[in-house]
Amino acid sequence: MNGKICLITGATGGIGKETALGLAQQGATVVIVGRDEAKTTSVVEEIKRASNNPGIHYLIGDLSSQQDVRAVARQFKERFTRLDVLVNNAGGVFSGRRTTVDGIEYTFALNHLAYFLLTNELIDLLKQSTPSRIINLSSEAQRGARLNWNNLQGEKHYNSFGQYCFTKLANIMFTYELDRRLRGSNVTVNAVHPGVVSSGFGTTLGRRMQILYSYIRPFMRSSKKGAETVIFLASSRETAGISGKYYFDKRQIRSQQVTYDESAAKKLWRISEQLVGQE
């Protein structure tokens, strides 16, 4: 990965941090996105030390805010002349419905719209840096999702985990539709299920969930293991040129049937464009 530049969101912890470390160990220049400056700079130093790679940089932004997503993309383009790998990873599950500064339901804004907007803001640079790769962190939680066009932001009824599942379904629909739009460009895009990982994920949920987590945590995999397929898609020769697929443990798997519905994916794309003001 020498000479390659990778941008990874949510790399201050969990799977994103291990992905950043793994790519840094392969010699890539790594740019991590964090939302807290002190935490982010400390992770940058940790990755530099652990990888013996001085080429680790950072950008700050709360990715639930569209203004911050645009600022991260703008600052990246001001500082770097190419982008070889974009990893859309920042995300989570959150208890209770709340809205962002843009008035959008938080989980939908962070887990789906931030992927959509950051990628679209950086797509010209990715096209100029070919062969380049985009990796979207999804989840097998997509299998439990229901696509309800009248309740995309949980306006009518809200369930934290149900909303999380839907956003992970949206990650795959976005991946497949982006792949169709990128055909012939030499930019590839794939989605990943990292496994059930003992990370910071779920720690913002209530006490009952914390107790449940404490029981199942010993059976979960490490963030390092969770990052393996992300790193594989970002860097291996084996995955060069492969696009529009969903991976688990370095193998392509099928996603829920509705993700293969092109008209539904186009509809979600149009709605996403409207919500980020790009129509």
Ligand X SMILES: NC(=O)c1ccc[n+]([C@@H]2O[C@H](COP(=O)([O-])OP(=O)(O)OC[C@H]3O[C@@H](n4cnc5c(N)ncnc54)[C@H](OP(=O)(O)O)[C@@H]3O)[C@@H](O)[C@H]2O)c1
| Residue 215, C-beta contacts closer than 8 angstroms, at least 6 positions apart | none
| Residue 187, C-beta contacts closer than 8 angstroms, at least 6 positions apart | 123, 126, 127, 130, 131, 132, 133, 134, 243
Quick one: 129 or 234, whose CB is closer to ligand X? 234
**Residue 137: CA count within 13 A, CB half-sphere:** 29
Spatial separation of the C-alpha atoms in residues 182 and 176, rounded to whole Å: 10
Instruction: DSSP for 103-117, please give it.
Output: SSBHHHIIIIIHHHH
User: Which residues here bind ligand X, judged by CB under 6 A?
Assistant: 10-16, 34-36, 39, 62-64, 89-92, 110, 137, 139, 193-194, 196-197, 199-201
Quick one: 129 or 171, whose CB is closer to ligand X? 171
Quick one: 71 or 196, whose CB is closer to ligand X? 196
Query: Is the CB of residue 43 less than 8 Å from the CB of residue 200?
Result: no
In the chain, the amino acid numbered 125 is L
Active-site choice (58, 164, 176, 246) = 164
- Dihedral over alpha carbons 246, 138, 186, 74 (to 10 degrees): 180
Query: Is the CB of residue 131 less than 8 Å from the CB of residue 240?
Result: yes
Query: Is the CB of residue 195 less than 8 Å from the CB of residue 221?
Result: yes
In the chain, the amino acid numbered 131 is P
Least distance CB 2 / ligand X (angstroms): 26
Least distance CB 12 / ligand X (angstroms): 4
Quick one: 129 or 142, whose CB is closer to ligand X? 142
Task: Find the helix or strand (DSSP H, E) in which 136 lies.
Answer: strand 132-137
Least distance CB 219 / ligand X (angstroms): 11
Q: Is 164 a catalytic residue?
A: yes
Least distance CB 241 / ligand X (angstroms): 25
Least distance CB 186 / ligand X (angstroms): 26
Quick one: 86 or 129, whose CB is closer to ligand X? 86
Residues with a catalytic annotation lie at: 164
